[in-house]
Amino acid sequence: MTVHPKLPSAPRKFQNLIGGSWGDSQGGEIVRLSPAHGVPVSVVPRGTAADVDKAVAAARRRFEGGGWAEIPAASRAAILRKAADLILQQKDELALIETLESGKPLWQSVNEVTGAADLWYYASGQAQAMHGETFNNLGHDSLGLVLREPIGVVGLITPWNFPFYILAERLPFILAAGCTVVMKPSEHTSSTTLMMGRILEQAGLPEGVVNIVTGYGDPVGQAIVNHMDIDMVSFTGSTRVGRSTVIASAANIKKVSLELGGKNPVVVTADADLDKAADGIVYGVLHNAGQCCVSGSRLIVHESVEKPLTERILELMGKVRVGDPLVPENRVGAIVNETQMTRILGLIDQGKSQGGKLVTGGARMEPRAGYFVEPTLFTGVTRDMTIAREEVFGPVLGISTFRSTADAIRMANDTEYGLAATIWSSDLRKSMDLMRGIRAGRMWINTTITGGPEMPIGGYKQSGLGRETGPSGIDEYTEVKSVIVDLGARQPWVI
Ligand code: NDP
C-alpha cells in the first residue's frame, strides 16, 4: 500500500475534560492505530473509575449549582447553534481523524460530520420548543400544571461505528433538556468526542456541563453504569453490554435508554424494481463495511425473483471498490479492529459449515496492513444458521426466499431483534401489509439507511429501549412533574 499524504507522521495526543479542566489520567494512555493503515494516529487517556467519580461530581455540582438547567432555553439554544457552526468550520479536521480511527471512507466521514451539525441545529430548536402542559379543566378551584424538567446527570456511552454522528444523536438533546453529562466514547474512536468537548468550550458551554473520560468499557463504562449519582444512562452498543447496563441500573433505579443490535430484514416482493432494489441492498449491507446497527443483513426475496436479483447483487458487489479510506473512489473501508474482523471471518466459516452456499467473498482482502473483508454473499440461508440469527456487523448478506406475504412477515420477525427493516416493492398494498406486520423501530420502503434529525430512532424487542431524535428526542432526557394548585377554600379533612 502506498503511504497517503494525509497519514500523520506522529499520533495526535488528547486529554480528558473534567469540570472544565483538560488533563491526563493516572491510568495511562491508549494508542490508537489506524485499522486501514496500521500506523498510530491518536493517543487518549486510559481513564479510571476515580476519573469517573471526579467527572460525576463535577456534573452534579453544575447540575445542582446552577448555570445550565436554570438559564433561559434561548441561551442554551444559542450555545448549541454556535457549536453546530463550529462543527461545520472544523469539518475537515473532524472527518480526517474520524476516518483514521474508524477506517471508514473520508467522504463518508465528511457526510457524517455535516449530518451531525444538522442534529445540533435541530436540537437547539428543541431547547426552546420544550414545554409542559396545563389542565384548566379540573374545576374552577383547581389548576393542573405539567412541568418537563431535566432528568439530571446523564452517563453517555457511545460505540465506534459512527462515533461523531451517534454522539450528535444524543448529546445536543441531553444538553437542550438542561442535563449535565459524563461521556465515554469507545476506546477505538475517542478523538472526535474529545474535539467536541473543545468545540463546546469554544461555543461558551459552562464548565462541568460536559465531562469526558476516555478508556475501556471496564473500568470506565462500568463505573458509569454502576454509579449511584448518575440519574440516567444512554448506551449504544452490543446487546450483551446493554443487558448488563439494565442489570446495573437496578442499584439506584437509574433510567436507561439503549440502542443495541439488529438482524435487519430486507424484503423484496416479486413486483419490485430489481435494479433499484439491488443497488439499495448492496449499499444497505456494505455501508460502513456492514458495521451498522441498521445494516440490512437478511435478504428475504420472493422466490420468483431470487435468481435475477441475486445476479444483479453479485454484479454490484463485484464492482464496489473496497480499500484505503483516504482514496476518494473507495466506497468501503476497513473493519474497525482485528477482533471484529476475526469475528466476522468466524461467522462466515460457520455459515459455510452450517450449509449456506457462499456465492462470493468470504475472506480477508489484501493488502494485509489493514483489516479489510471482501463483500460476501450467501444463498440458501435457513433460520437455524448462525448467520441468519446473529448480528455479523460485517459486509455479509444472506439470502432466503418466501412465497406469500404472510411468510415474509413471519420470516422477517423471526429474530430477537427489532431495530430496522427495508421493503422493496411496487405494490402499495403489499408494502403496507409488510410495513404493518414487521416489528421494527425504523423502516424504509424503496430506500434504505436514510433519515434526518426529524425522525425518531430506536428499536423494538431486544434492540433497545426508548427513542432518540425527532420531535420528542428531548423528552427521553426529562422527568415529568405533575402539579395541582388548589385555588379554593380547603375543605378540612379532619372533622
Ligand atoms: P460494546 O457493546 O462492547 O461497545 C460499545 C460501548 O460500550 C463502547 O464504548 C465500549 O467501550 C463500552 N463498554 C464495553 N463494555 C462495557 C461495560 N461492561 N460497561 C459499560 N460500557 C461498556 O461493543 P463491541 O465493540 O464489543 O462490539 C461487539 C458487537 O456489538 C459488534 O460486533 C456489534 O454486533 C455490536 N455493536 C453494536 C453497535 C450498535 O450501534 N448498535 C455498535 C458497536 C457494536 P470499549 O470500546 O472501551 O470496550
Round to whole Å and give the CA distance between 495 and 492.
Answer: 7
Question: Residues with Cβ within 6 A of ligand 1?
Answer: 157-159, 161, 184, 186-188, 216-218, 221-222, 225, 236-238, 241, 244, 259-261, 293, 340, 391, 393
**Catalytic residue selected from 98, 292, 293, 374:** 293
The residue written with cell numbers 464496489 in the block is 320
**Catalytic residue selected from 98, 101, 112, 259:** 259
Torsion sign, CA atoms 366, 368, 369, 375:
positive
The whole-number pLDDT of residue 489 equals: 87
> What's the mean pLDDT in 345-363?
97
Mean pLDDT, the chain, integer: 97
- Substitution site in 25, 102, 184, 186 for ligand 1 pocket (most atoms within 8 Å of beta carbon): 186
Strand partners, 443: 421
The whole-number pLDDT of residue 367 equals: 65
Confidence check: pLDDT of 2 > 60: no
Residue 397 Cα to ligand 1 middle (Å)? 22
> What's the mean pLDDT in 98-122?
98
**DSSP track, 356-407:** -EEEE--SBPSPTTS--B--EEEES--TTSHHHHS---SSEEEEEEESSHHH
Digit-coded pLDDT (tens) for 11-22: 999 999 999 999
Digit-coded pLDDT (tens) for 298-346: 999 999 999 999 999 999 999 999 999 999 999 999 999 999 999 999 9
Q: Coil, helix or strand for 85?
A: helix
Residue 261 Cα to ligand 1 middle (Å)? 10
The whole-number pLDDT of residue 350 equals: 98
- Quickly state the pLDDT bin for 366 (edges 50, 70, 90): confident
Confidence check: pLDDT of 369 > 90: no
Residue 72 Cα to ligand 1 middle (Å)? 36
The whole-number pLDDT of residue 148 equals: 97
User: Residue 27 gets which letter from DSSP?
Assistant: T
Yes or no: say if 443 and 420 are a contact pair by the CB < 8 Å rule.
Answer: yes
Angle at 316 between CA 318 and CA 277, to 5 degrees: 155
Residue 146 Cα to ligand 1 middle (Å)? 37
CA-nearest of 480, 455, 460 to 258 is 460
Q: How many CB atoms lie within 10 A of CB 248?
A: 18
> What's the mean pLDDT in 274-281?
98
Residue 160 Cα to ligand 1 middle (Å)? 8
pTM over 0.75: yes
Round to whole Å and give the CA distance between 324 and 297.
Answer: 24
> What's the mean pLDDT in 240-253?
96
Confidence check: pLDDT of 415 > 80: yes
Domains of the chain, CATH where assigned: 12-260+467-481 (3.40.605.10), 265-445 (3.40.309.10)
Q: Does residue 315 carry a catalytic annotation? A: no
Give nearest CA residue, ligand 1 atom 14. Answer: 217
Confidence check: pLDDT of 3 > 70: no
Digit-coded pLDDT (tens) for 372-407: 999 999 999 999 999 999 999 999 999 999 999 999
Q: Does residue 179 carry a catalytic annotation? A: no
Ligand 1 atom at minimum distance from 259 CA: 41
- Quickly state the pLDDT bin for 6 (edges 50, 70, 90): confident
User: Residue 2 gets which letter from DSSP?
Assistant: P
Yes or no: say if 465 and 257 are a contact pair by the CB < 8 Å rule.
Answer: yes
Ligand 1 atom at minimum distance from 216 CA: 47
Round to whole Å and give the CA distance between 181 and 234.
Answer: 10
Confidence check: pLDDT of 348 > 70: yes
Digit-coded pLDDT (tens) for 190-245: 999 999 999 999 999 999 999 999 999 999 999 999 999 999 999 999 999 999 99
